[in-house]
């Protein structure tokens, strides 16, 4: 539990550091008397023994979290070539769920496979969950490779440029007192001058599916490529409201909604 607490607080601090809009949005919510409880956080990685879901799974389970889905029920994003699962605390619902996706890069074209193999060859050891709080990227980045990757997979380009870090945190709308729907949250976010991801409509999911979500467009950050600086999309803030399905608050995710939310880091 102490390890889990360390991980979550380091991840949150790192995320606020690298996502200035999230820092500002949290402050704005605070001015309205709202306290932020996170519904989930999301990590992106590559499908490989050194850094994939299975490696992280063992570590999250050692921290007291439960893997929510049997492998047959895992989420698959066939177009983006992603697979995902999530971890949750068995008793404490105020602890954010951890959603982990991995890129099935072997199903993508040769150039993507080559660059992913290059990234993996630079890992000096297996990944530790704390690496996601340190922006771990033990490889140099090149502009040509970044842009070539992005043509095939925005997700691959994101991991290549930014390394292992938290992709987003998600405000639990169920825990807000005044902004009691995603619609109201979106209204505030726009009034505060931030942009929402409108891909597939600003609101993803329906109460009947158990989960309604929206997200901002990713912040941008200037990175040092070998050839010089370039500004790229980084991380975004998400908002989620859960509804009862069959008498229980739904705790899962909706792949078709998540698919559109992945577009929040589109260049």
Contacting residues toward Ni ion, per CB under 5 A: 42, 170, 238
CA-angle at 84, arms to 83 and 89, nearest 5° = 165
Query: Per this entry, what is the length of the chain?
Result: 267
Report the nearest approach of Ni ion to the CB of residue 118 (Å): 28
Task: Describe the crossing of helices 2-18 and 20-31 by its angle, rounded to 10 degrees.
Answer: 100
Where helices occur in 206-266 by DSSP H, the ranges are 255-261
- When the beta carbons of 69 and 123 are compared against Ni ion, the nearer one is 69
- When the beta carbons of 102 and 238 are compared against Ni ion, the nearer one is 238
- When the beta carbons of 101 and 145 are compared against Ni ion, the nearer one is 101
- When the beta carbons of 101 and 115 are compared against Ni ion, the nearer one is 101
Report the nearest approach of Ni ion to the CB of residue 120 (Å): 25
- CA pair distance 241, 214, nearest whole angstrom: 9
**SS3 category, 156:** helix
- CA pair distance 187, 184, nearest whole angstrom: 5
Report the nearest approach of Ni ion to the CB of residue 168 (Å): 6
Report the nearest approach of Ni ion to the CB of residue 43 (Å): 10
């Amino acid at each position: 539990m102490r390890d889990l607490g360390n991980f979550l607080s380091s991840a949150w601090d790192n995320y606020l550091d690298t996502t200035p809009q999230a820092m500002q949005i949290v402050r704005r919510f605070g001015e309205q008397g709202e306290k932020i409880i996170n519904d989930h956080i999301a990590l992106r990685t590559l499908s490989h023994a050194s850094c994939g879901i299975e490696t992280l799974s063992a570590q999250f389970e050692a921290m007291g979290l439960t893997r929510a889905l049997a492998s047959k029920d895992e989420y698959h994003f066939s177009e983006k070539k992603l697979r995902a699962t999530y971890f949750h605390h068995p008793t404490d619902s105020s602890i954010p769920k951890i959603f982990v996706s991995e890129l099935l890069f072997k199903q993508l074209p040769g150039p993507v496979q080559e660059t992913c193999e290059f990234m993996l060859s630079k890992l000096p050891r297996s990944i530790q969950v704390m690496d996601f709080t340190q922006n771990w990227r033990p490889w140099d980045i090149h502009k040509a490779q970044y842009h070539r990757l992005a043509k095939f997979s925005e997700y691959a380009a994101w991991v290549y440029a930014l390394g292992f870090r938290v992709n987003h945190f998600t405000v639990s709308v169920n825990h807000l007192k005044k902004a009691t729907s995603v619609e109201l949250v979106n209204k505030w976010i726009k009034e505060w001058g931030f942009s929402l991801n409108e891909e597939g409509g600003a609101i993803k999911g329906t109460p009947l599916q158990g989960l309604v979500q929206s997200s901002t467009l990713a912040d941008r950050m200037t990175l040092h490529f070998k050839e010089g600086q370039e500004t790229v999309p980084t991380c975004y803030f998400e908002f989620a409201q859960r509804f009862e399905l069959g008498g229980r608050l739904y705790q899962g995710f909706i792949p078709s909604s998540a698919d559109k939310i992945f577009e929040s880091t589109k260049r």
